[in-house]
Amino acid sequence: MRRVVVTGMGIISPLGNDVETFWKNLIAGKSGVKKLNGEEFANIKTQIAAYIEDFQVESYLEPKEAKRYDLYIQYAYAAALQALNEAEVDLNTINKERVGVFIGSGVGGIHTLLDNHEIFQNRGPNRVSPFLVPTMISNMAAGFITIKTGFKGPSYAPVSACATGNQAIGEAYLNIAHGYSDAILAGGSEAVVHPLTIAGFSRMRALSTRNDEPEKASRPFDKNRDGFVVGEGAGVLFLEEYEHAKNRGANILAEIIGYGCTTDAHHITAPDYRGAARAMQLAIAMAGVTPDKVDYINAHATGTPTGDVSETKAIKEVFSEHAYRLKISSTKSMTGHMFGAAGAAEAIATIKSLQDQIIPPTINLDEPDPECDLDYVPQRAIEANIEIALSNAFGFGGHNAVIALKRF
In degrees to the nearest 10, what's the CA dihedral of 123, 127, 128, 131?
A: -150
Nearest CA to 61 out of 49, 74, 51 is that of 74
- Residues annotated as catalytic are 162, 300, 337
Exposure string over 171-205, b if 16+ CB within 10 A, otherwise e: bbbebbbeeebbbbbbbbbbbbbbbebbbebbeee
What are the φ and ψ backbone dihedral angles of 367, each rounded to 5 degrees?
A: -140, 95
Determine which helix (DSSP H) or strand (DSSP E) holds 254, and give its type and residue range.
strand 254-263
Nearest CA to 205 out of 385, 55, 45 is that of 45
The strand ranges marked E within 80-196 are 99-104, 155-156, 183-190
DSSP string over 368-396 = B-TT--S---BSS-EE---SEEEEEEEET
The rounded distance, in Å, linking the Cα atoms of 297 and 124 is 51
The rounded distance, in Å, linking the Cα atoms of 408 and 405 is 9
